[in-house]
Amino acid sequence: MPKIQTLSNRDKVNLADTWDLASLYPSDIAWERAFKQLERKIPGYRKFSGKLARSAAGLKACLVFDAEMDRLSERLGVYAYLRSAQDQTDSAAQRLKGRYQHAATLAAESAAFIRPEILAISEGRMRTLLNSPELRDWKLALERVVRYRPHTLGKKEEELLAMQGQMSGASNQIFRQLNDSDLRWGLIKDEKGRKIELSHASFITFLNSPKRDVRQEAFHAYYSQFDAHKNTFAAAYNASVQRDCYYAKARGYKSAREASLFADNVPLKVYDNLIDAVHTNLPVVHKYFDLRRRLMKLKDVHQYDTYVPILADIEKHTPWDKAVETVVAALEPLGDEYCRVLHTGLTTARWCDRYPNKGKQSGAFSHGTFDAMPYILMNYEPAVLDHVFTLAHEAGHSMHSWYSARHQPFQY
């Protein structure tokens, strides 16, 4: 291995290690054609306004049109987002993302009448509509809309809220640009004397170093950058909190927490019980950390001592292909089809963008869509055993998306 290791620029990454976005669009040019189609279709909402209560057929026509718009919008938005996530410094990708967000805001403004109009339909009339054969495939979607009756405003107010869509995402965008593009940590010398660029991805590798001085240096170097930009991070976080509180208050929720849980119909008590369980079991965690301290022969234990394996001679190097084989073998009880599809997705079908590069979004995620492959972003480090678990986690999300898209209609 080279004595100095730095992150590669995106254009230097091996193609086989990147995701293949062709199932969304084969190129930015193809995206552009679809984007113009979306822009042309936005005014199509007008013909439905004020007419949704007249007939089941008319209501269905509006719902079908709206679903077609959502479906096209999903592909456009996911492509732009993934192009941006692979390199936050790519100005062309940022332009795609910004243009999509603007068009999506315009579409939301044009569609803002739908929910208020549906909720203005009397309960008796709604029961009649829900029992009509034309709306058989839309019954669940409509029932979900009805749940929002206490939190839906009038047509004009909904239009105003929709107009704020792009602006409300500014705090997230600022955080991402700062966190994934602008922070720089320099080089850290590992336990073998190699100078390696410190990054979001390599940070966990340093925390797995058997040499405590390496872990300590990396930890303090990493968080020093956050400390140096703490006012900017705090401002972005405050804007995010204020946004959530504003929308919760505007829509009549008791709190931003209630608003966040409402879409999934999760009771507040479930959330509270999870928090209580953590606090109740903290003594067990403290006991484990003290055991770790004693086994590692440390006077005291710090955050940077909590990742390295207690057994220093444990095998930790897991190349990508080995990680895939391990994950797929563990999932054999879920059947041949599940394992075959997942193995292909993680290898030749290139669902996953595997390794870190300069400007790449930190962490990991799975992004499923209805019409394309369920893509996975990783910042995989072979020396970090926990990244094998992360791959299994994201693979589970992706296979859920893969099966759902094949067994459910888009509106569900």
- Judge whether 217 counts as a catalytic residue: no
State whether the Cα torsion 256-70-351-2 is positive or negative: negative
Please list the helix, strand and coil fractions of the chain in percent, rounded to the nearest 5, in that order: 65, 5, 30
Can you give the pLDDT of all 412 residues of the chain as single tens digits?
556 788 899 999 999 999 999 999 999 999 999 999 999 999 999 999 999 999 999 999 999 999 999 999 999 999 999 999 999 889 999 999 999 999 999 999 999 999 999 988 988 999 999 999 999 999 999 998 888 889 988 888 988 888 888 888 899 989 988 988 888 899 999 888 889 899 888 898 899 888 999 999 999 999 999 999 999 999 999 999 999 999 999 999 999 999 999 999 999 999 999 999 999 999 999 999 999 999 999 999 999 999 888 876 666 789 999 999 999 999 999 999 999 999 999 999 999 999 999 999 989 999 999 999 999 999 999 988 889 999 999 999 999 999 999 999 999 9
Q: What is the DSSP letter of 357?
A: -
Q: What is the pLDDT of residue 167?
A: 87
> Which residue is catalytic, options 158, 217, 381, 394?
394
Kindly give, in sequence order, each residue whose CB lies less than 8 Å from that of residue 109, ignoring residues fewer than 6 positions away.
Answer: 159, 162, 163
Q: What is the pLDDT of residue 316?
A: 76
Cα 245 to its chain centre, rounded Å, is 21
Q: What is the pLDDT of residue 226?
A: 95
Q: What is the pLDDT of residue 286?
A: 96
